[in-house]
Structures are given as structure tokens and as C-alpha cells.
Structure 1
Amino acid sequence: MTPEQIRAAVREVMPSVRADLEALVRIPSVSADPARADDVRRSAEATAELFRAEGFDDVRILTAAGGAPAVLARKPAPEGAPTVLLYAHHDVQPTGEVADWDSDPFEPTERGDRLYGRGAADDKAGIAAHLAAVRTFGADLPVGVTVLVEGEEEVGSPTLEAFLEEHHELLAADVIVIADSGNWDIGEPALTTSLRGLVDCFVEVRTLQHGVHSGMWGGVVPDAVTTMVRLLATLHDDEGNVAVEGLHSGPAADVDYPEERVRAESGIAEGVQLIGSGSLVERLWTKPAITTIGFDATRTADASNTLIPSVRAKLSVRLAPGDSSKRAMAALRHHLEQHVPWGAQLTFTEGEFGEPTQIDATGPAYDAARAAFRDAWDGTEPVDMGVGGSIPFIAAFNVAFPDAAVLVTGVEDPDTRAHGANEGLHLAEFEKVCLAEALLLHNLAESLGR
């Protein structure tokens, strides 16, 4: 097929692809909720059936180490053609407060230029983009295609490394396309070339064996909430930079990200200052960030004149590319132990580990991707961008398949609101993503074929 034929074929398959995406969104495959385990299985089965319908003879639902069901579908490469592994995930985040949504989160709803629903973008649209690329070529795929659709990405991919090891031979590929990121803006495509890593932990501070009267003992005995607040305050300097020694920082790509755009896209409240120093993209992509994402203490509705004996917080740390999650966890523990005030008892419990990623996006596979993006976006040059969030499993793919080119792409844009209420997929951009992936398969056949 010529690029123009591919463009016409993508346009023709888009209505059926959208219908399949909507059917997937209706399945509440929330991997974090044990009560939704049957829905996660149902989502895997529905995904498997989609690729069976496209002529994939080898379609399996597999697990490793007791993990959630993943879909593996394979079509062998034509003689001399490369094999491309297409990754996405079929599990989704919890909805949060349903009242915060403008429509049922599991009933895909079009409003304006977007399709709203949990997973409509992250990442069932990634599945749909792979489906569109495959459906475009029908029985004449120019490359071998292996599709891997994971079922536990939203809970940190805890068994993915075991899965890659156990099914390594089935997954071997020349190029790996990870459809779980996004583009720089509406109308501006991007390759993601760096992602921050992640560690999190639980911190408990105890100052008393039990609560006591605040009038009788206040002023002499420290309460746990004040103690914890003082401890958390040591994690940043006065500008808001992370103050934990030993965490890595690095330079970022020379990309202009105006402050007014950051304010508009983040939803920061009027008058609130941005924190940290350095360029905005450095602060977002290549410097560490620490956030208190949970705090257990007495509710104000239940408050009494009592010194609270213990409190618990959950901390999330985003790590710059080039750092190590184990080293970062040790540095965080050391900082907290050294800075806990007034001799309070500190309990530190490790949580998740996720490695950061830095991709050398050079070579024929990346050239093929950039050419596909330029064609799909009518001549717009793609941006090499970083992402402040984490996709730790990319490091696992790099380790498992060191000779494969890993391309990180996706359907999201700055207003996608993935993980939040009113998650939405920009439909016009989605069609461009589908076209770009189909063109990529065409380009890879030409540039990597023998």
C-alpha cells in the first residue's frame, strides 16, 4: 500500500475502531479493585476476540506469577520483514467520585471534540490504535506483529518482569511500540524520550502511647500532627526544590513550555506560585519531585481537645532519569530518620519501586517514526519530549530486549485528564495517532526489511 492508500484505509476503518473502543470502555476493568477481577478478565477476553477477528491465529490470554490476565496475539512476519511488538494495557484507574464526572464514566459519551469515559484514552485508546493499524492492512500486514495488552499497568505492573521472562521468546521483536504516553499538544505530535521513575513509602510518626488532654499537656508534650508537619517541611527548601540529598537531577530538552500554558493545563489556583528553580521542563521532566499523597489523622469532624499520639503519611517521589529507585529509597529513608523532630518515633515502610527511563531516540526505527508523524500531522515536525510521570515497565522492556528499538507514543494530550474525572480522548487527534501507527508499520517494513 502507498501512503495515500494507507491514509484512505485508516479513514475507512475509523468508525468500526471507535465502536470497538466504546465497547471496551463499557467494561469497568479496574485492576486496583479486587471486586472487579471478573471485569478485568472480561476485558482481556474482549481484547483477545478483537485480534482474533483480525486474523491473528495465535491469540492467548496469559499470566505470570499470579498476575492479571494479559492478551498476547501474534502474526508472523513476511519473509525478510521485521517484527513489531505493539504494547497497550486494558486495565483502568478507579473512577474516583462519580459525582465529579459530567457523564457515566463507563458509558462513552461524545461532547464537543472528545469522547469521555474511564479508559477512553488511558489506555483502551492505545489498544484501539493498534487495532486500527492492523485493520488498515487487513491480511497484508507489511511486518510481523505481536500485540501485548497488559492487565495490571494501573497497579504498577507488578508481574510484568516475570511475564517478559516467562514469555520472552514469544515477545521477541525488532521494534517495540509503547502506546501509553501522549503528544506535546493538539496538532503537535511527540516521541517520549524520557520518563521519571517512582518510589513511594509510608511514614508514621508517634509521640505518645495514647492521646492525652491538650490543655493538661500541651506546651510540653509534642503532638504527632505538628511533628509530622515539621518533618514533611524538611523535604523542600524555601523555593520548593527537593532538599533530600542524593537524588539525581539532570538537564532537559530545549523545549519551550510557557508558564501561562503550565498554569492553564495544570489547573493551579489563581495566585499560587510555581515551585522549584530551573526551567519548567527541567522541573517537570528531569528533576525529582516529592508529594504527600495521603495523610491519616483525626478528621476535623471528630476532633477533640486531645494531643494526637500518631499519624501516618504516604509520600510519592518522582525520580529524574539517571537515578536508581533503590538508591533513592535509601536516601529518602535516611533524610527522614535524620530530620524527625523532638526525638519522635519514626516508622518507615517501603512501597513501590519504578525505574526512570532515558531513551536514545536515534536510528532507523526512530527515523521511520518521525517520518510517520510528519505525514500524519500534515508536515508538523514531532517533538522529542520528556514526561514527568512514570512508566516503570519501559525499563523492563529495555532490559529484556536490549537490541530492540523502543518507541514511546500515545493518544493523550494536555487536557486528556487521565486518572481524573472526565477523562477524554480528542477524536481528531486519535485518528492522526491511528494513521501515524499504520504509516510507521509501512515505514519499518521499508527501512528494516531485508
Structure 2
Amino acid sequence: MNIDEVTLQVKNNFSKWQSKLVDLVAIPSISVDSFDQSTLQRSAKWIAAEAEKLGLSAQIINLETDSGKKGRPAILAQRPAAPGKPTVLLYAHHDVQPTGDLELWNTQPFQAVEKDGRLFGRGAADDKAGVVLHLAAIEAAHPGVGITLFVEGEEEVGSPTFVDFLHTYKKELQADVIVVADSNNWQVGIPSLTTSLRGVVQMSARVAVLDHPVHSGMYSGPVIDAVTVAARLIATFHDEAGNIAVEGLAQSDTATVDYEEEVLRKDTGILDGVEFAGSGSLTSRLWTKPTISVIGMDVTPNEVASNTLIPQVEFTLSLRVAPGQDPRAAAAALEEHMRTHVPFGAHIDVRVNECGPSFIADTDSPANEMAHWALHEAWGVEPINMGIGGSIPFISDLAELFPNAEILVTGVEDPDSRAHSANESLHLGDWQKAITAEALLLSKLGE
């Protein structure tokens, strides 16, 4: 393989693929039910057509499961491997998040605009850049390796038919290496592979102290309102330093990458004077330790508040589970903690809404070593293995169904990408390097 030849091919065609990404961003393929779902069919047709131009046989699949679930359009495009060569499954998703408040955007979300080396637009990073990255890398790579391109259309709504799709098309999806282009790089100019992901549990709890509201002047004192009781319960999740204080939740301080505090403060936008919680390295707190966050609470709005004791309140928790722990065991531990720590004998009902598994990659695999080589060649710096505090549960689904495949989690985003938020953007220089790295990886595997 001629490395310079692959690199030059990417460079010469980069403006073409940037223009194609602009075209794909212009299709508002929001997968949330309340939006026009025909846009997903448009973006699927666009991707299938581009795959066929590269010599892949493409089909658009609208899966309907035995249970009656209807999948959003997915693209499955294939090119068989040459004799004796491996097959690589390339994953990305073409659906995007809603735009949110348009007043927070500096540009029109679905009119991608280049400014200061970044491309702004909804999906410009997450994950249409991943889709077009795969297409551009296929074009630039030396032939030989088999290609299976799988572009999902419902990742942003939790991939409700993903497992059914894997089982239905298991034969077509068989691969030696799986590349998931839906994660982050460490920083602009520093590439990475994502080698660990926390699991996720979403739980709801209802705390009740009364069977109806009562006058706060007449009965407060011996009776404490449900919101205060819930707040006291929630406060038991952490110790005074902000560490998780729930027994049975696995945690470790094993992350080896340094994250400078001033950089994290900038990346998060934490307010001046607000201290970070917990102990241990910042990356361990972000990647390998559990967290519990209150993400919703049903309580009386201020504008309709009256002088009555609130009888019951419901809140929703997001529990991020340390890599390696069964999320169901983590959910059971948190439920047990709430039942034993709810104060004053208040009644509590707990419901588990969602469980998503964690992921730990084999960092010593041959494919991982090849990917590190390709990233180094493309960026000219040493890549790192990093964790992600978030969860991508379908990666564990891939690992379970295809246990012999080596899984690589790559990405095009960086701390400034603001995926899911207003002013989402893609660093174009790093995107070109990411295309080069994937083209080199495919070429190397094809040897």
C-alpha cells in the first residue's frame, strides 16, 4: 500500500465530499415521531445512491418486527471481499436530533455553513459526518477488503428496532472488523479510539407522604412535604465530597489519560467558583465511575403554587454505570438504596425505564493496533485510548451477536462539536484526517 497515494486521494477529493456533506445536512432527517418522517426516506435514498456510485449494492430497509414495531429507513450496502480478504462493517446513522430553540443558533440548522475551519449545522458532526466519512474512505481505500455499510435511521430515538435488525440481517452483517463512527476524538488535533463506555439506567421514583394536599399553615411541622422528603433522599446518593455513596455500584480509578481542570471547565461551561465533585482523576470520574443525576421532576410550578403541602412528587434519575457492571445489578442497587433511605417512612415506588449495557474494548487486538497505526499516519501524533462517560448500548449488542468481530469505535467530534445542541459543528481539518485514517485502515486490512 502506498500511504502517500491514499492521503493524496483524500486530499484531492475532499472538497467534493464536503459539498456532499452540505447536501446531506440540508435534509432535515429528524427521527422523533412528531416530525416529518418522510425526510428519513429522502436521506436514505441519498446515501444509497452515493454508495452505488462507489460500486456497492445498496438497499433501503424499513424493518417491521414480529411485535409490530416499524423501523425507520436503514441503508445496507455491500461489496464482497476478494478471496482470502476480510470484511469490514462500517456503521453510522443518518437521523438527527431536533434543532431546539432556533434563536440559539447563529446559522440556519439545515443550511451548513463553513466558518473558521468548522462546518456548522444539525448533523454536521453527529452523525452525517460519520456517514460521509465512510463513503469518502471507501472511495480512497485500495480495493480488496469486503465492505458492508450499515447506516441506521433511528439512533437518536434509542434504536428501537436495532436488535431485531441485527437478527434479521445477521448473515449480511457478518464481518471480521466493525467500525462504529459515532464517537469523539480527545481534542482537536489529537485522535482517539473509544475503548470504554459506561452503561446507562433510567429510573423513575414516586415519593408520597399524604393522600391529598393539606394547608401548610395548619399541618406543616409534623408533616414534611413530599418534595423535601425526595430532596433528602436524593441527597443520600452522594457523600460530602460528591462521591457516589450507594452500595453495590462498581467503580474504579483506572483511567490513565490526564484531563486538565481548566480545559474541562472550558469544555463544560461550569460557572466560576463552582467546584467539581468527587475524588480521583477527572477522567476516572468521567469514564469509569458511576454517576447519578436528577434529570426531571414533576412538582408544582411557581406560577400556580399555593400554601399547601405537596402530597407526592415523581422524579427521574439517570444512572451511568461503570464499565463492566451489569446495568440491571446497578439498577437493583440504587432501588434498594432508595427503599432503605427514604426518610420518615414515606411511601416510595420505583420503576426502571431503561437499561443499556457498558462496553470495554480489547485494546490488544490486531485491528486496534492497525487503527492506532492509521490514526498516527493521518494525524502525525500518537492517538490515545479514551473512555466516554456516555453510553452507546448498541455497541454491546454488536459485540454479543458478533463475538468474533473486532470492534473499533472511532469518531469525528471534538469538545467543541456541541452535538445535540445549538451550533453543532465539525472541525473540517480533523474530518479530513479521519477520512484518511479510515481509508488507510481499509487498505491495510485489504492487504
1:1-400 paired onto structure 2 within 5 Å: 2-65=2-65, 66-137=70-141, 141-378=143-380, 380-400=381-401
CA contact (8 A) 1:114 1:425 kept: yes
**Which residue of the partner structure matches residue 408 of structure 1?**
409
Name the SS for the 1:23 alignment partner: helix
Identity %: 51
> How far apart, in 1, do the equivalents of 2:40 and 2:213 lie?
44
Whether contact under 8 Å (1:250, 1:321) holds in the other structure is no
1:425 aligns with 2:426: yes
After TM superposition, the score normalised by the length of structure 1 is 0.95
In structure 2, what is the Cα distance between the partners aligned to 1:38 and 1:201? 33
Are the aligned partners of 1:70 and 1:148 in contact in 2 as well (CA < 8 Å)? yes
How far did residue 251 of structure 1 move? Answer: 3.7
Secondary structure of 2:245's counterpart equals coil
Relative to structure 2, which stretch is displaced further, 30-39 or 434-443? 30-39
- Tell me, in whole angstroms, the C-alpha distance in 1 between the residues paired with 2:365 and 2:325: 25
Gaps of 5+ in 2: none
TM-score, with length taken from structure 2: 0.96
Measured after TM superposition, the shift of residue 62 of structure 1 is 4.0
Aligned partners of 1:257, 1:153: CA distance in 2, in Å?
Answer: 29
Structure 1 SS opposite 2:183: strand
When residues 435 and 251 of structure 1 are mapped into structure 2, their CA distance, relative to the original with a 3 A threshold, is: same
Residues 59 and 74 in structure 1, CA contact (< 8 A), matched pair in contact too? no
Following TM superposition, by how much is the alpha carbon of 1:429 offset from its aligned partner in structure 2, in angstroms?
0.6
Q: What amino acid maps onto 1:167 in structure 2?
A: Y
- Hey, what's the Cα distance between the residues in 1 that align with 2:2 and 2:351? 56
Question: In 2, distance between residues paired with 1:238 and 1:411?
Answer: 38
Stretch moving more, 302-311 or 168-177: 302-311
Q: 1:100 is matched by which residue type in structure 2?
A: L
The code of the aligned residue for 1:121 comes to A
What one-letter code is carried by the residue in structure 2 that aligns with 1:432? K
The 3 A distance-change label for structure 1 pair 441 and 111 is same
SS in 2 for 1:34: coil
Moved more, 409-418 or 341-350: 341-350
Shift in CA distance, 92/215, structure 1 to aligned 2, threshold 3 Å: same
Q: C-alpha displacement at 1:410, in angstroms?
A: 0.6
SS of 2:37's partner is helix
Deviation of the 1:206 alpha carbon: 1.9
After TM superposition, give the deviation of residue 317 of structure 1 in Å: 0.7
> 1:393 Cα shift?
0.8
Secondary structure in 1 matching 2:205: strand
Aligned residues: 443
Structure 1 CA distance, aligned partners of 2:38 and 2:231? 41
Q: For 1:104 and 1:341, locate their aligned partners in 2 and report how far apart those are by CA, in whole Å.
A: 50
Q: Is the 8 A contact 1:225 1:310 kept in 2?
A: yes
Is the Cα–Cα contact under 8 Å of residues 253 and 281 in structure 2 kept in the other structure?
Answer: no
Q: Over residues 148-197 of structure 1, what are the superposed CA-to-partner deviations in whole Å (9 max), with x where a residue is unaligned?
A: 11112122222212211111000001110010111111111111111111
Task: Indicate conservation of the 8 Å contact 1:195/1:387, yes or no.
Answer: yes
Decide whether the 8 Å contact of 2:253 with 2:285 is kept in 1: no
Work out the CA distance in 2 between the residues paired with 1:251 and 1:148. Answer: 35
Q: Is the 8 A contact 2:60 2:73 kept in 1?
A: no
8 Å contact from structure 2 (residues 255, 288) kept in 1: no
Question: What are structure 1's unaligned runs of at least 5 residues?
Answer: none
How far apart are 1:69 and its partner, in Å? 2.0
User: What is the Cα deviation at residue 146 of structure 1?
Assistant: 0.2
**Cα shift at 1:421:** 1.6
